[in-house]
Amino acid sequence: MRSIRIIGRMPKRRRASWWTRRGGYLLVVAAVLATVAVVIAGMRLSPTKPDRPVTISTADWAPYVGEDLPGGGPLAALVRLVLAQQGYQASVDFTTWDLALSRARQGQALAAFPLVASRERAATLLASDPLVDFEYVLFRDTSLSAPDVDEASDLGELRVARIAGYDYWPALDDAVGQYVEFDTSADAFRALAEGAVDLVAEGRVAGETLLNSPELDLDAARFAPLDGDASWLRSTESLRLFVAADADGRRLIEDFNRALADVRLTPEYRALTSSLASEKSGQTVRLDALDGSPVVLQNEAGETLAVLPRGSSAVVLEWPEVFGVTASAALPTRVKITSGPGRGKVGLVDLALIEMEG
């Protein structure tokens, strides 16, 4: 399996402000992932008193794990909960996927998670029982004709984006001659939007979460998984925890799997994993006009992109620079619509139409 390495990152489009990326996105996912805090606060298990501090390594991959997600994300909360049954008090270190695995392999971290099992990883690491299952898919640009992939060999003629640190399923690896590798999923989707690649291999829920977040200034409705049930087009995989393949690691994995089996029977497990079963569509602001007229979403030229019903939800991608300084009601504010018929569209609305939620 070979990859064409993209040096550096793709040129980025206009990015959201620091407040929006760090604070606004937290509000978007908090509504869905609030169960994390509830579970931690209301545990009904009786864990051994955590008295041994350890570090576990992972990478940002919303909605599963993320430095800006409540509790580090539902899978971070799940792994900490399981390790607590073993007498560990785990703190989560966010880095890259490759470094997370390296730290677990070298004993610099107790474990790395959540990742899929592969032959390469099995050579130096031990994998836990599944934490949760997810679906890998191939995202395409729906503004273009769908590529013809009736046979696995057809994928060898296409430019398929691979994310650094990911391991994909064997049928895809066998079908793709050369991947085009990107540092992040965001870079890969920007390349897809710009026509630099034909497909992006990513988890369905993770891809949809990213496309609907302020991290990407793209129209989420423009992208969708490629249709088809062939083994080279999609695969259901398990996310696991990995430890070093030594005697201590074997004991740790055995204990972890026993504790995980107990946790799986609890309401806490169902609460944490159910938040990953559906698409994320949080609400940061509500759009409404005081005179009762519809909300108009425009582009920078003032042309109408969509007429939205009152009460439509949106994520603010960028506040006007004078926000908080003047009280002008004619300031265009860049938003991504997250509900209703305009869902996924990006454009400008008057600041006066924005009502804060919560």
Instruction: Give the pLDDT confidence score for residue 269 in this predicted structure.
Output: 87
Per-residue pLDDT of 243-279, as tens digits, reads: 999 999 999 999 999 999 999 988 788 778 876 764 3
H helix or E strand, kind and range, residue 356:
strand 354-356
- Asked if 47 and 80 touch (Cβ cutoff 8 Å), the reply is no
Q: Pick the more confident residue, 322 or 269.
A: 269
**Which pair of structure tokens corresponds to residue 238?**
């398990």
Binned at pLDDT 50, 70 and 90, residue 322 comes out as very low
How far, in Å, CA of 29 to CA of 77, rounded?
15
Instruction: Give the pLDDT confidence score for residue 260 in this predicted structure.
Output: 97
Residue 75 has pLDDT above 90, yes or no: yes
pTM above 0.75, yes or no: no
- Asked if 314 and 213 touch (Cβ cutoff 8 Å), the reply is no
Give the chain's domains with CATH numbers: 2-8+134-236 (3.40.190.10), 18-131+239-274 (3.40.190.10), 285-356 (2.30.30)
Chain-wide mean pLDDT for the chain? 83
| 89-127 b/e (C-beta count within 10 Å ≥ 16 → b) | ebebbbbbbebbbbbbbeeebbbbbbbbbbeebeeebbb
Beta-carbon contacts of 186 under 8 Å, excluding residues fewer than 6 positions away, are 210, 215, 216
Q: What is the mean pLDDT of residues 346-350?
A: 89
Strand duo 312-318 + 285-287: pairing: antiparallel
Per-residue pLDDT of 181-218, as tens digits, reads: 999 999 999 999 999 999 999 999 999 999 988 889 89
- Exposed, middle or buried, 18 (CB in 10 Å: 0-12/13-18/19+)? exposed
Per-residue pLDDT of 146-190, as tens digits, reads: 999 999 999 999 999 999 999 999 999 999 989 999 999 999 999
Q: Pick the more confident residue, 240 or 295.
A: 240
Per-residue pLDDT of 14-50, as tens digits, reads: 344 333 333 444 444 443 444 454 454 444 455 555 5
Q: 316 has which bridge partners?
A: 335
Q: What is the mean pLDDT of residues 283-298?
A: 80
Residue 6 has pLDDT above 70, yes or no: no
